[in-house]
Structure formats: C-alpha cells, structure tokens
Amino acid sequence: MVELKHVKALSSMAQSCSGIGDCRTAYRQALGWYGVCPMVDHTPGFEPYYARGKIRAIKGMLEGKFEPSEGFARVMYHCTTCGACKAVCHVSGVDQITWPTSKYIDHTRLFEAVRADLVELGLGPMPRHREILEWAKREHNPYMERHKDKLRWASGRELKSRADTLFFTGCTGPYRMPGVCQDVYDVLAAAGVNFAVSPDEWCCGSVALRVGDRKLAESLARHNLEVFEKAGAKRVVTHCAGCYRTLKKDYPEIIGELPFEVLHVTELLAVLVEDGKLDLAEGELTVTYHDPCHLGRHCEVYDEPRQLINSVPGVKLVEMKRNRSGALCCGAGGGVKSAFPELALSIAKERLAQARETGAQLILSACPFCERNLSDAGAVASPLRLQVEDVVSFLKNQLKKK
C-alpha cells in the first residue's frame, strides 16, 4: 500500500466526516447561505469534486480500497481551497449551540495534505503547476517573469530598503497588476506611512503550498524571513490575500513564531482612515465587495475592507447575496486558474452574475488574484462586464487632490 504520510497524520479528520453533505450546496437563509462548493456546478460534479466525496475518497485510499492514480490526483486538484465547506460544516449559527464536526475537520488542511502526498508520489501537481514551480525555483515567481523585473511597477518612486513597515508586494501585483502596487504605494505614502520595499523578496510560497510542494514553500519562506530581518521590518504589510494568508498562517507553521506582525493593507488603512490620515473626496457610486477566500474565510478579515469603502462619502456599498463567510470563491485559488483556466473563468462568471444582481457599478476586492480572474471572466462574458477594482485603488482615486 502506498505511504500517505501527510494525510495519515490527519486521518482523524477523514474519520470525522459524518457524510451529511452540506458541503455540496447548503442553503440557509438565516445565515445567508446560498450554495457552497464552487466546483459542483462547473465540473462533472461527481462526489469527489466536493468536500464530502473528497474526504470519503481520502478515507478509502487510507484504508487501501484503491491506489492513488492520475485521475484521483486530477480531481483532488479540482478545488480552489476556498474553505466554504468548512464554513458550513455543521455550523449552528449561534454561539450558544455548538457542533463538534467543524472542530474536528479542517477541510482545506486535509485537501492540501493529500496534494502534498500526491507530489511526493509523483502524481501531483498538475502539469502546468510543475512548469510554474520549476520557474519559481529559478526566478522566484510563478508568472514566468524575470525576478529583475519585479520592481518595474515602482519606476519613479523612491524605495526605502529599511523601515519598521515593509510592503510585501507578492507576485500577481508586480507582474500582472502593477497599477495596484502603485496605488498601494501611493496611498500608504499619502497616509504618511514610512515603509520599505525589498527588491529581494521572493514569492511568498502560497502557490507551492496550495498545490502540495512543501519543500519549495519552505525554502521561499526561509528566504523571505531573511529579507524581512534585513529590512528591519517589525510589520509586514501586503495587499494580496494569498500572500497574507501564507505569511500569517502558514509561515508560523513552517518556521515557527514570527518576529514581526503581518497585516493586510486593508487592516492598516482602516486604522489610518479612522485616525484621519487620508483625506477622501466624495464619490457617487454604488459598489459591491467580493470577499477573497484567503482574507475572509481563512483569516476572518471581513470588516476592514468594508470600513474603507464606507469611509468614502457618497459611496453606497451593496452586498452580494453570498458574502462574508458565505461568499462564492472567484474560482482562481488553489492552483485552479493555472491548471484549469476555463474552470476558473466559469466560476468567476457565476460570481460576476451575483455581483450584477446587486445593481452595483463596480466590484471591489482586496486581492489582485481575485480581481484578475474576475476581470478575465468579465472580458470573455460581455453581458456580465463589470469593472473590477482593488479597494486600495478605489481609495486612491478618492484621495483629494492636494
């Protein structure tokens, strides 16, 4: 029987699934649930495409009922690791009544563990992931770009090498959405934040972790730790939800207690706006907000982005039916966008349709990866075309001209 050490360590999670299957498509009006797993309606939809079936299949594999195969691996990578399944797993909805199952199972952790096993067995990750990870080993980013080009976005902006605050730019921003990096820089500067940006930062390792390459993730994390120490950072701020989750939740598991604080830029800006550090002009716009999974469900940052939006006078925030812990994933995470791009776009189109229903003129989010996928879907689905923007870019546009 094949050794599955990562999953075996979590076998009690697999044992804990009662199999009731709310993780497929639970609806609960009182809690704002209107569906759960993004995979169900965008794939062939057999049991192993959503959490109950994945867990059951993992359990069967642990019991030696079948051997892992390429087909098994392919379906295990059909998951954005959005965590919506965990968010509904026997959740009672009130503090006074608790359910045990969701305390026993961390679905995302289990699914990432099976991917780690698949990588070690040579069955994972998916072919496109392998190309990306090979590139990341050489050039430290998953976008097939040269590391030396990472700071192109900063052209004309002064970059400090040391400061208490370090702006961790990630990869999607610098290489694919440079405008967002520029806007983060400009808004932090406008608020009077003294911050550094390191030319030596590497990919945070999120991509490697999500698809199961833990060795690469660890080497990236250890390098970045040195960079943060060299910059004298007491707090690391990032605008990318994926980087944020990785730095905040995964780094401590990989390298132990962190000698610095990790903040999402919206957390920092919410405080700065509260303190009156940003002077915002009135807007006339109805917007909606898409909760990135890594920021929301994974790290429970729901309020700060909304506080920022609501801090702009005249702007009306209307919620999508699925929001906060019930939000539908954009479809990009967990290596889905790179391995199965059509699937990622298909899910994003569903999310765009939900945004359309609100009557909003603009979708805001707080993750360049979500924004990119939603924008890509908008481009291919013209009736759903709706401008997508980062919350920070939106704030920048509302800064009063001096």
Partner 1 sequence: MGEVLRALEDAVGSDYVSVDDFVLYTYSRGIEGALEEVMPEYVVRPGSTDEVSRVVKVANKYKVPIVPRGGGCCLMGGSKPIEKGGIVIDMTRMNRLLDINFEAMTVSVECGITWAKLNTVLFEKGYYTGTLGPGSGMSATVGGGLSHHSVGGGGATKYGTCSEHCVALEVVLPQGDVVQTGSNASVYIKEPFCRLGLGPDLLSIFLGDNGIFGIKTKATLEIFPRPEYHECKTFVVENPGDINVAKIWLEWRKMGDLGIYDSQYLPPLTVVAYSGLLTEFPFIPAWKGIDKGILWYTIEAYTEDELEEKVRLADGAVKRHGGEELGEKIEDGNIARWHYEKHGFWQNWHALWNIAGPGCVPCSTEHHVPIHRMPDMFRAFEKWEEENRSLLEKAGAFSGVSTTILCGHTTVEVDSGLVVWDRPELRSLNKQLWISQMHMVIKNGGMPYMTGELYSQALVDAAAFPEPYFELLRTLKRTLDPNRILSPGKYRL
Binding site for partner 1 (CB under 8 A): 12-13, 15-16, 18-22, 24-31, 34-35, 44-48, 52-53, 56-57, 60-61, 63, 65-66, 69, 71-72, 75, 90, 92-101, 103-104
Indicate the residue among 125 and 378 with the shorter CB distance to partner 1: 125
Minimal distance, residue 247 CB to partner 1, in Å: 31
Indicate the residue among 98 and 387 with the shorter CB distance to partner 1: 98
Indicate the residue among 66 and 361 with the shorter CB distance to partner 1: 66
Residue 371, token pair as written in the block: 């924004």
Minimal distance, residue 362 CB to partner 1, in Å: 26
Minimal distance, residue 50 CB to partner 1, in Å: 10
Indicate the residue among 22 and 183 with the shorter CB distance to partner 1: 22
Give the Å distances, CA to CA, from 158 to 14, 21, 334. Answer: 51, 53, 34
Minimal distance, residue 2 CB to partner 1, in Å: 13
Please give the helix or strand (H or E) that residue 318 lies within, else none.
none
Neighbours of 30 (CB within 10 A): 7
Give the Å distances, CA to CA, from 394 to 19, 168, 184. Answer: 43, 20, 10
Q: At what angle do helices 265-274 and 391-398 cross, to 10 degrees?
A: 30
Indicate the residue among 104 and 135 with the shorter CB distance to partner 1: 104
Pairing of strands 165-168, 33-34: unpaired
Indicate the residue among 29 and 155 with the shorter CB distance to partner 1: 29
* 379 burial via Cβ count (<10 Å: 0-12, 13-18, 19+): exposed
Residue 74, token pair as written in the block: 């392919």
Residue 354 backbone phi and psi in degrees, to 5: -65, -35
Minimal distance, residue 63 CB to partner 1, in Å: 8
Minimal distance, residue 336 CB to partner 1, in Å: 17
Minimal distance, residue 124 CB to partner 1, in Å: 14
Largest CA distance in the chain: 69
Minimal distance, residue 119 CB to partner 1, in Å: 18
Indicate the residue among 65 and 402 with the shorter CB distance to partner 1: 65
Residue 316, token pair as written in the block: 């009306």
Closest alpha carbon to 209 in 332, 344, 115: 115
Please give the helix or strand (H or E) that residue 289 lies within, else none.
strand 285-289
Minimal distance, residue 13 CB to partner 1, in Å: 8
**Inter-residue contact 267 to 301 (CB < 8 Å):** yes
**Inter-residue contact 153 to 143 (CB < 8 Å):** no
Indicate the residue among 44 and 256 with the shorter CB distance to partner 1: 44
Indicate the residue among 58 and 220 with the shorter CB distance to partner 1: 58
Q: What contacts 369, CB < 8 A, 6 or more positions away? A: 172, 240, 241, 242, 292, 330, 332, 333, 337
